[in-house]
Amino acid sequence: MARVRSKDTDSEIRLRKVLWQKGLRYRVRFKLPGTPDIAFVKKRVAVFVDGCFWHGCPVHYRAPMSNAEFWTEKLRINVNRDRLADSRLNEMGWAVVRVWAHEVNDDISQVIQRITKAVTATTDN
Ligand SMILES: [Zn+2]
């Protein structure tokens, strides 16, 4: 599990690096519901890099063979928490962009595009 976790963090760091190189300025782990990994505060765009295992990626999540029930419940709680954070953020006027860790690894330009689109779509006020 430690391996999964560190790989997720790598994707997040990689994404932040590229965003920064593109001239996008953000805050890390800004105090908001769900603690977004990346937050464009003025633009009110919150970005989450969801780990494939912890957040139940449809492509990569496999329930571990042992303790299946425990993991299924844990996943359910995580996903519920994600959805709750999304709706809280929306209520506060924030746009939410969620990307899977594997998307960052497989096709980072697509991810950057989605984020850039969200950031430029909003107006600052
Ligand atoms: Zn995945």
Compute the distance between CA of residue 110 and CA of residue 125 in angstroms, rounded to an integer. Answer: 28
Residue 6 has pLDDT above 80, yes or no: no
pLDDT tens, residue by residue, 86-105: 999 999 999 999 999 999 99
Model pLDDT, residue 8: 62
* Strands laid side by side in the 45-50 sheet: 27-28, 38-40, 45-50, 95-100
Model pLDDT, residue 4: 53
pLDDT tens, residue by residue, 40-89: 999 999 999 999 999 999 999 988 889 989 999 999 999 999 999 999 99
Compute the distance between CA of residue 28 and CA of residue 106 in angstroms, rounded to an integer. Answer: 23
Residue 11: name the closest of 101, 103, 125 by CA. 101
Model pLDDT, residue 29: 86
pTM of the model: 0.88
60 CA to middle of ligand 1, Å? 4
75 CA to middle of ligand 1, Å? 14
At 118, the amino acid letter reads A
- Ligand 1 being an ion, which residues bring their Cβ within 5 A of it? 52, 57, 59-60, 100, 102
Tokens of 14: 């990689």
* Contacts of residue 77, Cβ cutoff 8 Å, sequence gap at least 6: none
Residue 43: name the closest of 95, 92, 79 by CA. 95
Work out the pLDDT band at 9, boundaries 50, 70, 90: confident
Average pLDDT for residues 5-31, to the nearest whole number? 88
